[in-house]
Structure 1
Amino acid sequence: MGNCWGFPSDQRSPSKNTAYPPASTPVGKSNNISDNIDLFSPTTASNSSFGKSQLSEAVSERLDETNPSGKILETPNLKVFSFADLRSATKNFKSDTLLGEGGFGKVYKGWMDTRTLVPSKIGSGMVVAIKKLNSESMQGFQEWQSEVNFLGRLSHPNLVKLLGYCWEDKELLLVYEFMPKGSLENHLFRRNPAIEPLSWEIRLKIAIGAARGLAFLHTSEKQVIYRDFKASNILLDANYNAKISDFGLAKLGPSGGDSHVTTRIMGTYGYAAPEYVATGHLYVKSDVYGFGVVLLEMMTGLRALDNRRPNGQQNLVEWMKPILSHRRKLKVIMDAKIEGQYSSKAAWQAAQLTLKCLEGEPRSRPSMNEVVEVLEQIEAMDKLKFKSLQPTIDRRAQQQNSNHRSALQSKATAQRTRSYPQ
């Protein structure tokens, strides 16, 4: 599923995929399946909840969601696919349909009939992403189960849609909606030079969408801690709407008055909250820390961890956190690719929000609902600022065009004078 770790010696490796999050296997994952299952009712490997056709095969509700606040489905609304169907949808998992791969397995592009979700001709119908478990993966089954249980019940515009699954003999597969713009990671760090840099306006839009997705998880009937929030797990549709993907490490939040849950440490270097890394105590606001790291990546255009940077700069949070509180230094660390696209006040507020998300104590961090509210204020502030400046910008553009035309006319006149001397 995600690029994850369990021990300090593990290194985070970039994903190869261009249109879906990495499918690598977490290191050091708990052998207790219930550590990641049991969302709203007990589910174990021997339970008949998975792999049986009694799950609803109606998918129209998941394809046509219009509820902006999200909902929890009473039963998983997933289609049970046959392995033959998914093999047909991907041209027998042909290499030219491969979107990405990792320790968990490979992710392929497939084509389905929009209404019935049966395989269609290549290039017709609806494009889907099909994740195929590597049979040699030791931890993949647990993550596969967790994906089905969480994404099969949680429905929100900012969570990627799981359309169905396949469990046939040793074959385990998951079928998702296809996200044509790929991951935030690919856009921020532009592995493909043909990808245009994200504007400040789009970065804010993505941040707000991802924040809404986390807020929904945190305020759902049973609090869900996502546990692996990072740029590679934020997918983008054709209009740059953000959707959180990859629920392989998701876990239920504390209950019975507890402030946290204790679990084996899992996550991704550079994004995991310090209290979780140090103690294994997982708080709902541990996700807020990860969000702060991604927000910092979006502001600076730099990766959370990069061993190619000089000593003292390899960990982005450790390097940038002291600078964020200095207003005059802020412009220096902002991504040069978005220069002139934001107001200084908006950048400052974004920096202060990032600092709050990165607080060492979980209780000092804002809730995700509060994060959404601040981000929306920043977005509105910049829209208003640049709307008020638009007449000035237009006048300057008109003046530049006029000057350009005058220069061309003068040049043409001079050429005629030289050609036809008096």
Structure 2
Amino acid sequence: MDEQRAAGEGPPRWWRQGPPWRYRWDDEDRNPRWPWRSTAFLTVFVLAGSNYAAGQQAGERAALDPFARVLLLVAGVLLLWRLRHPVPVVFGTASAAMVYLGAGYPYGPVFLAVALACFSAVVAGHRRAAWAALGMLWTGHVLVAHWLYRWLPPSGDSAASWGQEAVVATWTVAILAVAELARTRREQWAREGAERAQAARRRADEERLRIARELHDVLAHSISVINVQAGVGLALLDTDPEQARTALTTIKAASKEALGEVRQVLDTLRTPGDAPRAPAPGLDRLPELVEQAAGAGLTVRVEGEPPRLAPGTDLAAFRVVQEALTNVVRHSGSRYARVRLDHDGGALRLCVDDDGPATGGEAGGSGNGLAGMRERAAALGGTIEAGPRADGGFRVLAVLPSMVKSEGEGR
């Protein structure tokens, strides 16, 4: 907190709804506001209370004169700076109170000004200054009450009892204890606020990553199909119009599907927390992926039956197959791929193979597609292995925990 103030920054916004002794900060200049009302109230109370105490202690202590009222006023007005300069204020109020007592004026609420200044200094993190100021005041009171009283007004005064000093010391310790408790609670609230802010940022980052993965998987697959079919259409536009028409039809279908899935992702951003309008894709849509790959000139053979999976695992498995087939279309010279599904009770083993060779960029690098697959698998407690096979070609192997759906749960 001290470093935060030294850098010219105020407490976080949530602190403004904190406890009643919170610091109030100006959004424009990032400086603490002037505590006018509390200072004015306490100053009036100190002046009025001291007048009442003077009447009660008439003949025992010196009467209030203009110098006494100036000391009381100084002790109160100094509190106006207690948020900006807590150390000078706590020493200033303690000094004014010590002079006031040394001059023999009546005991009264002047100690409240010292207590509030000490409280503000401790809460602000200046503990040693507050302790030193209170120690100075108590030491000065002991000297006046047990030694210097002979030469200080009022005349004929006697030494104070040590029981009275014990009471003063008890009040001093109580003030410090309450201030320390407030400081501890404030630091705890600050830590909790920082933890909440960090958790919110972490959730936002995770959501951004999830949306980025969804958009990448949808767009990369569909645009790859569109790119291949556009090339076919351009090449056959003059020689084989019917085949070119088929390519354009495939482009239209792929773009329509991509727009639908992108719209679904964007709808979750516009209305967070609402149920999606369409179910998330899963392995039940594997035939659609095979059909789209066929439209891009890739023959896909599926081995094994898709098991019943939890929604998160089902979506991750679908996206892994989608991304793997997209990479085959984009980076492999092979026009044939195999998708094998093995379910051994506790895990789903999903393997996508092609025979290669690679034709474009690095097929097994650390692009966004493979990184997204690894992130999906890691989020579920699974693994992804992707790389060239020993006999040529490329393999993507995903192992995902298969939490089977309950009977009442739809796909």
* TM-score > 0.5, shorter chain as reference: no
Q: Give the number of the structure whose alpha-carbon radius of gyration is greater.
A: 2
More strand by proportion, 1 or 2?
Answer: 1
* TM-score, length basis structure 1: 0.23
More helix by proportion, 1 or 2?
Answer: 2
* TM-score, length basis structure 2: 0.23
